[in-house]
Chains A and B, each alone.
Chain A
């Protein structure tokens, strides 16, 4: 099978094309896996890092474009290396040192803060997805500015007061679950 061109890959990620995402995985995952396993990681770590690297690229594409000076393979590996080093060194080196390492890695258009924010949002989204389906539905509808009357109608002709009270409880459940997550406590300790 012919290798994917950079433009095809970028469009595949931008449009979340399942076919191209599978091809990107088949073509580029082995290099990521080798790097992670060579650096004390597991196969599952490699999968997680690959996944998050693609999402970080997608995030960049949402707000503009990315600059791939050489090959996509090297670009992706660069992000994955950075993420992995960040993960294993979380408690060992501080953010200044990590920024220096990032410079050493010479990652293009990349900021340390972006990774931190990405990781935090990942944690928040993880807990959001762990909420019950009805809680997710209510919060989504509120965030999409759907009128409360319409929400009450859609969720089984219930009352507006009930919806308000349920929405508040769902949000509090989400915030409490996040606050009780050991990962969040790490961020808190670091003052992020």
Chain B
């Protein structure tokens, strides 16, 4: 089945088709069992995710049934304590010995995992754009053509006009990274990471973690990578790999 058909089903389910197109789709379903099966699956998924009350109840019950009384495990054998202390000292010595090597490696993680974020917003030529949208269109065009200097200027103009424009702020940060302006990029990404009510929150955490690694701030990076993993964000696999290597 093709993307076109998936989109058609989604539009049907969200009531975005005209009466005429709905009727045509109903007819098409009858003659195409694969389409019918896909439609039923998506309809059920559609219904299932419209049950926030059930999901909330499951969450509440899960909390109740999995709450355990914490037991304290006190190690009574003094020999174990001395062994633990010895291991701790050895680990500390190894950490100190390899500290400098690590400083170099943090930048390597950035180089290995950083990829330019794709320009995902497109305006059709037929659309009538406001001044800001026009500015954004040109900025994204510059960004797409790797003209990061001009892209940065325009994104900054948009951010200066409206500091809540998270899209411009995010692309501004990436434009800065592309020009090795890491300190400035860190500032904007940090601002984006303090508010999770926008679409680039996940991406901001990931890029900020990478910028932290580049700027030799491993502890800050680790916190963000852990958050990415615990919240099951898109970059969790990469975050796990980095954390495994760092630790």
Contact = CB atoms under 8 A, between A and B. Distances in A.
Contact of B49 (A62, A120, A124, A172): A124
Interface in A161-184: 161-163, 165-166, 168, 171-172, 174-175, 178
A174 B66 CA distance: 27
B64 interface: yes
B245 interface: no
Interface stretch (B141-149, B193-201, B216-224): B193-201
A129 B55 CA distance: 9
Nearest to A138: B199
Interface in B47-93: 47-58, 60-62, 64-66
B112 interface: no
Interface residues of A, number: 48
B169 to A, nearest CB: 9
A61 to B, nearest CB: 11
A105 interface: no
A124 B43 CA distance: 11
A47 B57 contact: no
Interface in A114-150: 117, 120-122, 124-125, 128-130, 132-134, 138-140, 142-143
B14 interface: yes
Contacts, number: 130
Interface stretch (B27-35, B120-128, B177-185): B120-128
B227 to A, nearest CB: 11
* A interface SS class: helix
B54 A121 contact: yes
Question: Which among B14, B46, B199 has the highest number of chain A CB atoms within 10 Å?
Answer: B199
B221 to A, nearest CB: 20
B167 A134 contact: no
B6 interface: yes
Contacts of B165: 156-157
Majority-rule SS of B interface residues: helix
A94 interface: no
B124 to A, nearest CB: 8
B198 A155 contact: yes
Interface residues of B, number: 50
Nearest to A144: B50
Given A50-B65, A121-B44, A125-B51, A130 B232 contact: yes
Given A51-B58, A58-B54, A155 B49 contact: no
Contacts of B198: 134, 155-156, 158
Nearest to A162: B121
Contacts of B160: none
Given A134-B199, A134-B201, A168-B10, A161 B121 contact: yes
Given A125-B54, A178-B41, 13 more contacts: A16-B53, A22-B64, A58-B54, A62-B53, A120-B44, A121-B51, A128-B49, A143-B46, A155-B197, A157-B166, A161-B121, A163-B199, A175-B45
Interface of B: 6-7, 10, 14, 41-42, 44-58, 60-62, 64-66, 120-124, 133, 136, 162, 164-167, 196-202, 231-234
Interface of A: 16, 18, 21-22, 25, 29, 47, 50-51, 54-55, 58-59, 62, 117, 120-122, 124-125, 128-130, 132-134, 138-140, 142-143, 154-159, 161-163, 165-166, 168, 171-172, 174-175, 178
